[in-house]
């Protein structure tokens, strides 16, 4: 490794635990790239960033940190949206980007084994010629890692039919905060005996251990796929169409909605496809499965749309058109940059039947706050993503955006929903946990954290509100944003 | 309540905590009915059996037991197959049979709320006229309770396509071993934030808390359903057909197999349907979904069967025929009584590709031990059920049956499988946990038990091998069996 320009003994010791070049970053200008993740409102510098190559190196780093009581956390691609990888305690960041191998593909038993830094979309790309794919498809799938997906229990547009990450994880190798290495999930067989630690670790947001190997389920490519785009003058009509499609017993692979502001955004950004700008709602609906029956499902969907006075509805004519529609949708969050200086994405879940009522409330919150809100979301499973548009250069707007986001989540919680569907709690929604959990219910969870992470050195100050005191929320200095 | 004929202060106090008649059983002749569950090889008398009516009564009983350090456990219908409800420490049994109400049906959001003593099949029966059903269908569904299904994470024939119980549980109310009442699952919305306690409690075999209310997912009835019965001269041909059906991208709702000995059993019992007795394997295959496409799937399945030299294959001509085939299959375990004095059912899971190899090993074990083994199983998801036939009146045979069962599980573990797919570990398979878990992996689980059940008063001596000492296995006295 290259010569270190520091005398800090921890940096030197940590560097020595990792083989090869580029083992550690520790200078301020390097660390700046690691001061936040996809949740950009909070920024904190890590002590250092280490780049292990193997499970054993991860375990050695963890043991070193534990022995010297250095706080630490794991990081994948840093695309998380709730701040789970932000070093709020000046952590040593254990970056898993070098552990990015595809270790095994077992088509016969429909599973693959990857390292945590392996990019989500690469898995599908590497098995698609054999007719297989990996289902969870967060919008960031071209750059996010499967390790990060496990930490956040990531979702995606196609989770309506196929389930979120936890439904596709068959086994995990984990380095516990004391440096022990365990394997859970009985070698890739689901429904392992004993407690469901696989479910417990998936979505634990990096607070219980560091995942170093992942066995995932892979699926056979559907024989056929059809995609429908429908434009509605009224948002209520679009919501009702969603409800009627599901009630008909059709389970679309994806059922996405965008509202007027969201459409303005995506049409102003990198992948415009010519959506009309004066409609209130757009539905993007995909069905897949064996060829026989797909046409009948599409006919049924078209009939439902007509019944709800759709302005225009069309079926993708080829894979190119389908891909353009999806690129337009999947870059929707980033597209907000075209119509707003900053945006904050929220992630609430509601019972599907409450959709019109909740959209009205969010609209009302937007009017009262003076901040525009765009809605891009997984309508089929009631997973909303209000995008709160603001300008961090205007004093007070970032704070107001956070308040508006919290108010939107309160609306979701009040109708019997939840405060996150797929983005996690992180540092962003710790306080909102109280909207849905009692003190006893939070204790039951923090008691479990005590089992694995008793010294709270691993990714502390996340996920749970600290009992008895207001959680400190520090906004990034305006100066850093501009 | 009726006058108590005992001066035991615990019995009197416990009885006083429960309203209405039939609040407690405590006399030996009454307790005998509770000395085992569906795993009949071990028998232990409980101290008493209490019958609470409400969550609050359950909590009061739990608090009383905790205060007086009386061991206790929960029991549903007692159909469990691994001994999870057997009072090995002379527990106070908290029977949940009186808490059997259907509390809410919310068709629009596809969920229902039931009490733990509610019978599995009653849920489907009560919503089928509206076009809905509850998917998990253990063979005991006409008498087992949904509370028990949650404890064991029960499966069933249709879990190949629809998943096991944990995939259908949206929320739980739980009385913890200290008497606290918590609700988990965010009001029925899946993917709740925080740790996945819903997954953790589901399948925890009654060792972490007592479930008192359950929110389940209900599904729309499939528009169409077709069932195929196929007879194969050779077991390898049947196994290969299973593999080819799955490889074709078809996901049958169920894909069941029975071998020659199993067929002899079901044809000698209550629901014979005329299966030939000289074939080595029978497949029962069901596909469901929207009507369009079902015929094509059936055609494909028939073609696969022909390719593997099926002797005879037929499609059920009406619902009556389909029901008769399923009755024949679902009573398969009990049918063993027609050809053997006793039987022990095992429950291993293997990667589907290992099916022929594992069946050969099991056959070998049968030959060496001199005990016949019938195989009835969920072939589609590699969940085997070897039924070991024995006669408990012959000294040594019960012990030998246990040994043979353990040997079958070892075979499953050795090919990368698991020791239980749906029946749980209970007292039956505690030692076999070591086939798949290291000491650290077992500790990670028992540490979680410590969080919720630190005094080990709730259902102790189950699920995990005691570290450092051989787990005591006491066979029921032969005298009690005869």
A403-427 pLDDT per residue, tens: 999 999 999 999 988 898 889 999 9
Task: Work out the minimum CA distance from B362 to partner chain A, whole angstroms.
Answer: 20
- Give the one of B108, B183, B197 whose C-beta lies nearest to A353's C-beta: B108
Instruction: Tell me which H or E stretch contains A81.
Output: none
| A351-359: average pLDDT | 87
| Res. B476: pLDDT tops 50 | no
A272-286, A329-343, B268-282: lowest mean pLDDT where? A329-343
Around Cβ B479, how many Cβ atoms within 10 Å? 6
Give yes or no for residue B474 having a pLDDT over 50: no
What is the C-alpha to C-alpha distance for residues B463 and A193, in angstroms, rounded to an integer? 8
SS3 A477: coil
The pLDDT value recorded for residue B2 is 57
Inspect the interface and report whether the beta carbons of A192 and B289 lie closer than 8 Å: no
Is residue B481's pLDDT more than 90? no
Q: What angle do CA A135, A138, A144 make, to 5 degrees?
A: 105
**Per-residue pLDDT tens over the stretch A217-246:** 999 999 899 999 999 999 999 999 998 998
pLDDT of res. B191: 60
Beta-carbon separation of A200 and B195 below 8 A = yes
Cα–Cα distance measured from residue B18 to residue B29, given in angstroms and rounded to the nearest whole number:
21
pLDDT of residue B473: 33
pLDDT range class, residue B293, cuts 50, 70, 90: confident
Instruction: Indicate the range of A287-301, B17-31, B293-307 predicted with least confidence.
Output: A287-301
Q: Contact at 8 Å (CB) between B339 and B404?
A: no
Q: Is the dihedral of CA A345, A347, A350, A353 positive or negative?
A: positive
Tokens of B131: 């076009």
Provide mean pLDDT across the span B349-369.
91
Partners of A184 in beta bridges = A172
> What is the domain class of B222-339 according to CATH?
alpha beta
For residue A157, what pLDDT is reported?
87
How far is A277 from B389, CA to CA, in rounded Å?
72
Return the beta strands (E) in A179-238 as ranges.
181-184, 210-217, 219-220, 224-232
Cβ contacts of B433 on chain A, cutoff 8 Å: 193-194
Give the Cα-Cα-Cα angle B306, B308, B314 (nearest 5 degrees): 40
B437 contacts on A by Cβ (under 8 Å): 194
Outline where DSSP puts E strands in A79-223: 92-95, 102-106, 111-114, 132-133, 169-175, 181-184, 210-217, 219-220
ipTM above threshold 0.85: no
- Cβ atoms B17, B65 nearer than 8 A: no
Find the mean pLDDT for residues A322-348: 92
> Residue B109 and residue A351: Cβ atoms within 8 Å?
yes
Question: What number is the average pLDDT over the span A269-291?
Answer: 94
Nearest to B359 by CA among B337, B382, B336, B338: B382
Name the nearest CA neighbour of A326 among A394, A256, A265: A256
Residue B292 has pLDDT above 90, yes or no: no
B429 contacts on A by Cβ (under 8 Å): 193
Query: Which pLDDT belongs to residue A289?
Result: 86
Residues of A numbered 224-283 whose beta carbons fall under 8 angstroms of chain B's beta carbons: which are they? Answer: 243, 247, 249-250
**pLDDT(B127) > 80:** yes
pLDDT at A417: 87
Residue A447 to residue B451, Cβ atoms within 8 A: yes
CATH class of the domain defined by B9-95? alpha beta
Q: If pLDDT is split at 50, 70 and 90, which confidence band does A482 have?
A: very low
The whole-number pLDDT of residue B21 equals 87
A window 383-442, beta carbon within 8 A of B: 416-422, 424-425, 429, 433, 436-438, 440-442
Whether A291 contacts chain B with CB within 8 A: yes
- CB-neighbour burial class of residue B320 (10 A; exposed 0-12, middle 13-18, buried 19+): exposed
Same fold yes or no, B222-339 and B340-482: yes
**What local confidence, expressed as pLDDT, does residue B470 receive?**
32
Range 303-332 of A in CB contact (< 8 A) with B: none
Pairwise CA distance, residues B442 & A196, whole Å: 12
CB contact under 8 A, B202 and A196: yes
Q: Is B478 a residue whose pLDDT tops 60?
A: no
Q: Please, are residues A177 and A452 in contact by the beta-carbon 8 Å criterion?
A: yes
A224 burial (CB, 10 Å; 0-12 / 13-18 / 19+) is middle
- Average the pLDDT over each of A288-297, A391-400, B471-480 and give the range with the smallest value: B471-480
Which pLDDT belongs to residue A191? 60
Cα distance between residue A154 and residue A202, in whole Å: 9
Inter-chain touch A191–B418, beta carbons under 8 Å: yes
Band of pLDDT at residue B303, cut at 50, 70 and 90? very high
Distance CA B67, CA B48 (A): 17
Q: Where are the domains of chain B?
A: 9-95, 102-220, 222-339, 340-482
CB contact under 8 A, B182 and A440: yes
Band of the pLDDT at A477, cuts 50, 70, 90? very low
**Range B340-482 has CATH code 3.40.50.1370:** no
170-209 of B, contacting A, C-beta below 8 A? 176, 180-184, 186-189, 191-200, 202-204, 208
> Do the Cβ atoms of B464 and A202 come within 8 Å?
no
pLDDT for B295 beyond 80: yes
Q: Which of A263, A304, A303 is nearest to A280 (CA)?
A: A263
B113/chain A closest Cα distance in angstroms: 14
The answer on pLDDT for B469 being more than 50 is no
Structure tokens at B9: 């202060």
B192 vs A83: which has the higher pLDDT: A83
pLDDT attached to residue A159: 86
Residue A373 has pLDDT above 90, yes or no: yes
Buried b (16+ CB within 10 A) or exposed e, B51-63: bbeebebbbbbbb
Alpha-carbon distance A213 to A173, whole Å? 5
Dihedral sign for Cα A303, A304, A310, A314, please: negative
Which whole-number Å values give the CA distances from A170 to A108, A110, A214, A436, B134, in the listed order?
Answer: 15, 10, 8, 29, 25
Determine the pLDDT at residue A479. 36
Which residues sit opposite B173 in a β-bridge? Answer: B183, B213
pLDDT above 90 for B331:
no
Q: Pick the more confident residue, B174 or B439.
A: B174
Q: CA A249, CA A334: separation in Å to the nearest integer?
A: 34
A128-133: average pLDDT: 95
pLDDT of residue B475: 34
pLDDT surpasses 90 at B192? no
Task: Please judge whether A444 and B421 are an interchain contact, meaning their C-beta atoms are less than 8 angstroms apart.
Answer: no
Q: Is the per-residue pLDDT at B400 higher than 50?
A: yes
What's the average model confidence in pLDDT over B379-392? 92
Residues of chain B contacting A193 with CB distance shorter than 8 Å: 418-420, 424-425, 429, 433, 436, 463
Read off the pLDDT of each residue in A33-38 and give the average, rounded to a whole number. Answer: 95
Contact A155/B191, CB-based, under 8 Å?
Answer: yes
Mean pLDDT computed over every residue of chain B: 91
CA dist A331 → A141, A159, A227 (Å): 11, 17, 18
Write down the architecture of domain A102-220 according to CATH.
2-Layer Sandwich (3.30)
> A–B: how many Cβ contacts below 8 A?
229
pLDDT of residue B187: 54
User: If you ran DSSP here, which 8-state letter would residue A208 be given?
Assistant: S
- Compare B152 and B470 and report the one with higher pLDDT: B152
Instruction: Supply the pLDDT for residue B482.
Output: 35
Here the contacts of B450-455 (C-beta below 8 Å, separation 24 or greater) are B450/A451, B451/A444, B451/A447, B451/A448, B451/A450, B451/A451, B452/A444, B452/A447, B452/B176, B452/B177, B452/B208, B452/B209, B453/B177, B453/B207, B453/B208, B453/B209, B454/B177, B455/B66, B455/B69, B455/B177
Strand duo A111-114 + A210-217: pairing: antiparallel
């Amino acid at each position: 490794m290259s010569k270190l320009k520091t005398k800090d003994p921890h940096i030197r010791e940590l560097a020595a635990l990792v083989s090869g070049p580029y083992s550690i970053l520790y200078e301020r200008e390097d660390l700046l790239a690691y001061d936040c993740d996809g949740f950009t409102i909070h920024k904190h510098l890590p002590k250092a960033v280490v780049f292990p190559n193997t499970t054993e190196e991860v375990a050695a780093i963890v043991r070193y940190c534990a022995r010297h009581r250095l706080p630490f956390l794991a990081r994948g691609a840093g695309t998380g949206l709730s701040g789970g990888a932000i070093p709020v305690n000046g952590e040593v960041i254990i970056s898993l980007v070098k552990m990015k191998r595809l270790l095994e593909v077992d088509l016969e038993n429909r599973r693959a084994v990857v390292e945590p830094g392996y990019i989500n979309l690469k898995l599908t790309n590497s098995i698609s010629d054999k007719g297989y794919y990996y289902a969870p498809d967060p919008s960031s799938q071209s750059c996010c890692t499967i390790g990060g997906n496990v930490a956040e229990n990531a979702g995606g547009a196609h989770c309506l039919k196929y389930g979120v990450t936890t439904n596709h994880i068959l086994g995990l190798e984990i380095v516990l905060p004391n440096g022990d290495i365990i394997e859970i999930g009985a070698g890739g067989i689901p429904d392992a005996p004993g407690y469901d630690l696989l479910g417990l670790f998936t979505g634990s947001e990096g607070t219980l251990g560091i995942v170093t190997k992942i066995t995932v389920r892979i699926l056979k490519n559907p024989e056929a796929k059809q995609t429908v785009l429908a434009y509605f003058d009224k948002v209520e009509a679009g919501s009702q169409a969603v409800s009627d499609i599901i009630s008909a017993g059709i389970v679309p692979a994806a059922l996405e909605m965008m509202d007027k502001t969201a459409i303005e955004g995506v049409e102003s950004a990198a992948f415009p496809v010519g959506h009309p700008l004066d409609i209130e709602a757009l539905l993007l609906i995909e069905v897949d499965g064996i060829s026989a029956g797909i046409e009948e499902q599409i006919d049924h969907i078209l009939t439902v749309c007509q019944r709800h006075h759709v302005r225009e509805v069309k079926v993708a004519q080829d894979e190119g058109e389908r891909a353009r529609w999806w690129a337009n949708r999947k870059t929707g969050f980033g597209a907000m940059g075209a119509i707003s200086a900053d945006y904050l994405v929220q992630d609430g879940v509601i019972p599907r039947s409450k959709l019109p009522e909740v959209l009205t409330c969010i609209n009302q919150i937007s009017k009262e706050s003076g901040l525009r809100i765009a809605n891009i979301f997984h309508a089929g499973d009631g997973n909303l993503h209000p995008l709160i548009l603001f300008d961090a250069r205007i004093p007070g707007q970032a704070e107001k955006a956070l308040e508006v986001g919290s108010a939107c989540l309160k609306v979701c919680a009040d109708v019997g929903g939840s405060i996150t569907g797929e983005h996690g709690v992180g540092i962003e929604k710790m306080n909102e946990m109280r909207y849905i959990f009692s003190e006893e219910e939070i204790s039951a969870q923090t008691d479990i954290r005590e089992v694995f992470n008793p010294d709270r050195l691993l990714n502390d100050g996340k996920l749970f509100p600290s009992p008895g005191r207001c959680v400190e929320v520090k906004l990034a200095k305006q100066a850093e944003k501009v």
